[in-house]
Chains A and B, each alone.
Chain A
Amino acid sequence: MEAFAEVDWFPLWLSLRVATLATVVTTVVGVAGAYALARTHFPGRGLVEALASLPIVLPPTVLGYYLLVLIGRDSPIGQAWEALTGSPLVFTWQAAVLAAAVASLPFCLRTARAAFTAVDTRYEEAARVAGLPEWRIAVTVTLPLAARGVIAGITLAFARALGDFGTTVMVAGNVPGRTQTMPIAVFDRVQAFDYASAGVLAGVLAAVAIVVLLVVRRLERSTL
């Protein structure tokens, strides 16, 4: 197990931290957005849904390019960040969190939306006539009934966030010890002909992906 000893594990810890924070962002935005899409009607709903799904079909580098434009040093967001923290947002691990969050959002949003849509509205009606305010119905009725699908969506989003390469490398770069996440490290090791390290890192990522798929399968198959 020589290969394990020589591997630089920083990318693993960075990836876990980035993916976890990105998943928190995705969960808040994705679950709230999915609820709004499934249970409310507002003008432009179809457009919002299409836009939110864009990261699935866009090449990750293209998505990264637009993010770079959005948060670059010349953009309002980039300048606001710089005014607040004193340093640019691009090419930091925080930018990697943003990239992973945007890239993984549609996975959480679409799965959770399908789960909310599948909830029988008759339960919500019963709660409504019983006097529960709409926000309590969302929390005590709709969310628990959609829980499995919502958790499956969050799990998928975590896996996607952990595996993001193209979007992250565009906005956070490949700075060893600072923004080099696992997938980027795999690419980096292969470029350096260090196949042993690449193999170990790739194996860890593959194992995580398989576990996630098993969890999601279990959640989606079992019924309440």
Chain B
Amino acid sequence: MSASDPHERTHVAPETLTLALHHRVGAFRLDVDVAVPPGLAVLFGPSGAGKSLTLRLVAGLDAPVRGRITLGDTVLVDTDRGHFLAPQQRRLGVVFQEHRLLPHRTALANVALAVREGDRAARREAAHALLEQVDAAELAGRRPAALSGGQRQRVALARALAGRPRLLLLDEPFSALDQPVRRRLRGLVRDLVDAAGVPAVFVTHDRAEALALADHVVRAEHGAITRVATGDDAAALLDEP
């Protein structure tokens, strides 16, 4: 697909995530140049390759030294034009490696805080529905301290979906969980992405997890993220040196 050909451009899906940027943190240098098609993309690579940092740049928690990130027609950041869209305005759902649920709020309140539309009652109702969607309805009244690791990430997943995100970002969300729980939650992410039709970028350094989830694979190697592949090529890209 060549973006310069106007005939071809109509076939480009509207919510493609494109990144072309250079970033530095101390001595670490990160160069990203990829277009991630909609679907479930796995950002795969070893620890320290810059995967989490890339998600932070997409989420707007850090600003790149220079470059441009777009989602569909929306420019999230463009350093050449001095443009930076605040994280609040990006409408992304993020599941972090740690749950980051507010310890003084119940699961329901944590999810309700992230619902953007409606009055208090409507937000709580939406939060209930979301908890049901992630199979955690019975946890609504509990605080994070009273939840298991897997339950916390379910609630965090519900919170990430609460703002009706245009894109889900998941940063090794299940790496601290044991295998059976991990597999179940992986299936849940797959179902949610399919049901909501929302594209997702899932960061992992676990090959089996990448293989199980990926529609697309994006390879991260020490500070360089430039290769993307889909379908059979995706599996092959996981094993490329």
B100 touches A131 (CB 8 A): no
Query: B-side binding surface: helix, strand, loop or mixed?
Result: loop
Complex interface: chain A residues within 8 A of B113 (CB): 127, 130, 132, 140
Complex interface: chain A residues within 8 A of B116 (CB): 131
Decide if B163 is an interface residue (CB 8 Å cutoff): yes
Size category, A interface = 10 to 19
- Tell me, rounded to whole Å, the shortest Cβ–Cβ distance linking B32 to chain A: 19
B100 touches A132 (CB 8 A): no
Q: How far is the CA of A122 from the CA of B96 in the complex (A)?
A: 9
Q: How far is the CA of A144 from the CA of B61 in the complex (A)?
A: 22
Per-residue interface assignment for chain B, residues 194 to 225, with 1 indicating a CB less than 8 Å from any chain A CB and 0 otherwise: 00000000000000000000000000000000
B60 touches A129 (CB 8 A): yes
A130 touches B163 (CB 8 A): yes
B59 touches A129 (CB 8 A): yes
Decide if B87 is an interface residue (CB 8 Å cutoff): yes
Decide if A123 is an interface residue (CB 8 Å cutoff): yes
Complex interface: chain B residues within 8 A of A140 (CB): 102, 113
Q: How far is the CA of A123 from the CA of B100 in the complex (A)?
A: 6
Query: A-side binding surface: helix, strand, loop or mixed?
Result: helix
A130 touches B104 (CB 8 A): no
Decide if B227 is an interface residue (CB 8 Å cutoff): no
B94 touches A129 (CB 8 A): yes
- Tell me, rounded to whole Å, the shortest Cβ–Cβ distance linking B131 to chain A: 15
Complex interface: chain B residues within 8 A of A122 (CB): 96, 98, 100
Per-residue interface assignment for chain B, residues 96 to 121, with 1 indicating a CB less than 8 Å from any chain A CB and 0 otherwise: 10101111100000000110100000
Complex interface: chain B residues within 8 A of A128 (CB): 60-61, 86-88
**Which residues of A in the span 105-152 have a Cβ within 8 Å of any Cβ on B?**
122-123, 125-133, 140-141, 144-145
- Tell me, rounded to whole Å, the shortest Cβ–Cβ distance linking B17 to chain A: 15
Decide if B42 is an interface residue (CB 8 Å cutoff): no
- Tell me, rounded to whole Å, the shortest Cβ–Cβ distance linking A222 to chain B: 14
Q: How far is the CA of A140 from the CA of B159 in the complex (A)?
A: 16
- Tell me, rounded to whole Å, the shortest Cβ–Cβ distance linking A123 to chain B: 6
Decide if B124 is an interface residue (CB 8 Å cutoff): no
Given contacts A130-B114, A132-B113, A133-B88, contact A125 B102 (CB under 8 A): no
Q: How far is the CA of A126 from the CA of B94 in the complex (A)?
A: 8
Which residues of chain B have a CB within 8 Å of any CB of chain A?
59-61, 86-88, 90-94, 96, 98, 100-104, 113-114, 116, 159-160, 162-163
Those 7 A-B pairs whose CB atoms lie nearest each other, nearest first:
A130-B114, A126-B100, A128-B87, A129-B94, A129-B87, A131-B88, A144-B104
Which residues of chain A have a CB within 8 Å of any CB of chain B?
122-123, 125-133, 140-141, 144-145, 224
6 contacts between A and B (CB under 8 A): A128-B60, A128-B87, A128-B88, A130-B160, A131-B88, A132-B88
